[in-house]
């Protein structure tokens, strides 16, 4: 299917079915109607490039231009190109689509919204100060999956060391655990002012964002008169069914 020529107003009109500025799109099975002017509104975007008239576009069985990408949030992207209206829901997902289609104005405005500002400037900056945070999240998931055979739950101990002092005092507490029965993943220490509860909220959020169902609760350990504290430990529970 050829694209309408919007650059030559003096050119003899083609038949209506080819000259119409209305474009039918099939984005991963989601159908949209828009205009070439809208698709070309942001000249540096991938969409403007695709619909510049030079790219070879595939069509579906009904003749709609086909974009092989999940179209669940394309409607919000299209609405911004039409009216510059920002989404109020699924902001992170729409941001991902805006990055993919290289719509720089939308990317910038979304990153200034409270949701993304809090995520990037607050939470992610905090997590960047927690040593090996991302690696530890993957370790937790691998251990949980390994322990899921014929079980409804997988339990892993998290040792959270907020300060350098905690790190110095934690060895006896960790050694008090039965290493043969308990898997322990240690987080910290970190330099930001955020609390242990903040760190645990991040762990839960990032694991659940991958589709897992988890809960975290304090892990009670028998105290000895030689031990100064045992509140480092929290039990992370994966529920499989």
The model's pLDDT over 141-188, given as tens digits with 9 standing for 90+, comes to 999 999 999 999 999 999 999 999 888 887 777 776 654 456 789 999
The residue extents of the domains of the chain are: 16-112, 133-239
Return the pLDDT at 229: 52
Q: Which CATH number fits domain 16-112: 3.40.50.2000, 3.40.50.10490, 3.30.499.10, 3.30.710.10?
A: 3.30.710.10
The predicted structure's pLDDT at residue 130: 97
Q: Which residues in the chain show pLDDT less than 70?
A: 1-20, 176-182, 221-230
DSSP string, the chain: -PPP--S-TTSPPPPHHHH-SEEEEEETTEEEEEEHHHHTSSTTSHHHHHTSSSS--EE-TTS-EEE-S--TTHHHHHHHHHH-PPPSSSHHHHHHHHHHTT-HHHHHHHHTSHHHHIIIIIIHHHHTTSTTHHHHHHHHHHHHHHT-TT-SEEEEEEEE--SHHHHHHHHHHHHTS-TTT--EEEE---SSS--HHHHHHHHHHHHHTTT--EEEEE------TT-S--TTEEEEEEE--
- Would you state the pLDDT for residue 190? 95
Per-residue pLDDT reduced to its tens digit, 27-36: 999 999 999 9
pLDDT the model gives residue 224: 54
- pLDDT, residue 55, reads 73
């Amino acid at each position: 299917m050829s694209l309408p020529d919007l650059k030559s107003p003096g050119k003899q009109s083609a038949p209506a079915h080819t000259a119409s500025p209305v474009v039918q799109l099939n984005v991963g099975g989601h159908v949209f109607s828009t205009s070439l002017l809208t698709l070309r509104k942001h000249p540096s975007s991938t969409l403007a490039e695709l619909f510049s008239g030079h790219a070879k576009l595939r069509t579906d069985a009904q003749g709609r231009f086909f974009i092989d990408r999940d179209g669940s949030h394309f409607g919000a992207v299209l609405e911004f190109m039409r009216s510059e209206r920002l989404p109020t829901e699924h902001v992170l997902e729409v941001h991902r689509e805006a990055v993919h289609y290289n719509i720089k104005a939308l990317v910038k405005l979304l990153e200034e919204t409270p949701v993304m500002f809090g995520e990037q400037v607050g939470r992610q900056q905090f997590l960047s100060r927690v040593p090996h945070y991302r690696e530890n999240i993957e370790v937790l998931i691998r251990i949980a999956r390994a322990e899921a055979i014929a079980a409804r739950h997988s339990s892993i101990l998290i040792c959270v060391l907020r300060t350098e002092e905690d790190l110095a005092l934690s060895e006896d507490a960790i050694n008090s655990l039965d290493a043969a029965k308990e898997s322990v993943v240690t987080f910290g220490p970190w330099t930001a002012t955020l609390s242990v509860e903040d760190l645990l909220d991040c762990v839960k959020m990032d694991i659940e964002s991958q589709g897992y169902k988890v809960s975290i609760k304090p892990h009670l350990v028998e105290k000895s008169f030689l031990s100064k504290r045992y509140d480092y430990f929290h039990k992370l529970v994966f529920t499989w069914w």
